[in-house]
Amino acid sequence: MFLSGYATVISLLAGEQLAGRLRIAPAVVSLVAEGLGDRDHRRSRSAFRAPVVNTYGCNESLALAYGCAFGWLHVHSDWLILEPVDADHRPTSPGQESFTVLLTSLCRWAQPILRYDLGDRVLLRPDACPCGDPLPSTKVRGRVADLLSFPHRGGGTVRIVPMAFEALLESIPDIDLFQIVQTSPTTLRVRIRSTTGADRERLWTAVRQELAALLDAHGADQVSVERAHEPPEQSPGGKYRVVMPHS
């Protein structure tokens, strides 16, 4: 078995495996898209008793970097440029965690990407990686906070991956664009741009019912779902984040 998925999802599965609620034996575990801390990386390796391969990517560039045996990600610098910067988009020094990172793709001719703000926090290694790979090495600190946490009906906290909400709303007809904002631990605010001619009241009823069912299935039935009157909003980098956890 080959187990592949977002790092945050793999981390949740590792917790289920260690708790005995999941019993799988993958030959290899592959982390995609986002970074995973050293502690969670070791935890996942221990839970599945298998090698854990780390990669870094995004929709704008599927292959940003690949992992090495020393826990670093090596940037495909012959294909792209990653610039770690502070909140004012000034370069951060190697060894200093950035506020965000800018992506420039060197291989996209039809749709150029120049200094696109990914919103990820990264740490660029200041010296050569001991694995011997000459490509720049980095660690990703961003996106690991994208899990949504809610109070569980039985006490404690339940965490839900953004993909669960994305897949749910993408399956509902007549939604052109949506955005789910967790404004508090017990409140989700839903922004919807419907397609032309859609029955907005019927659409909202379907959205509210489906989200309530998802939350109830996870034991988070105390969470309220609010209808937003403002449209989905873009980030400063121009990207629509479809699910935004409570900060």
- Name the more confident of 54 and 104: 104
CATH topology of domain 2-145: Rossmann fold (3.40.50)
Do residues 31 and 55 make contact, with C-beta atoms less than 8 angstroms apart? yes
Burial class of residue 204 (count of CB atoms within 10 Å of its CB; 0-12, 13-18, 19+): middle
Confidence of residue 84 (pLDDT cuts 50, 70, 90): very high
Confidence of residue 240 (pLDDT cuts 50, 70, 90): confident
Q: CATH 3.30.300.30 residue ranges in the chain?
A: 147-244
Does the pTM surpass 0.75? The reply is no
CATH topology of domain 147-244: GMP Synthetase; Chain A, domain 3 (3.30.300)
Q: Is the pLDDT of residue 222 over 60?
A: yes
Q: Is the pLDDT of residue 108 over 50?
A: yes
Bridge partners for 187 per DSSP: 184, 224
Among 55-64, 153-162, 195-204, the range with the most confident prediction by mean pLDDT is 195-204
Tokens linked to 58: 């995004």
Task: Quote the pLDDT of residue 208.
Answer: 95
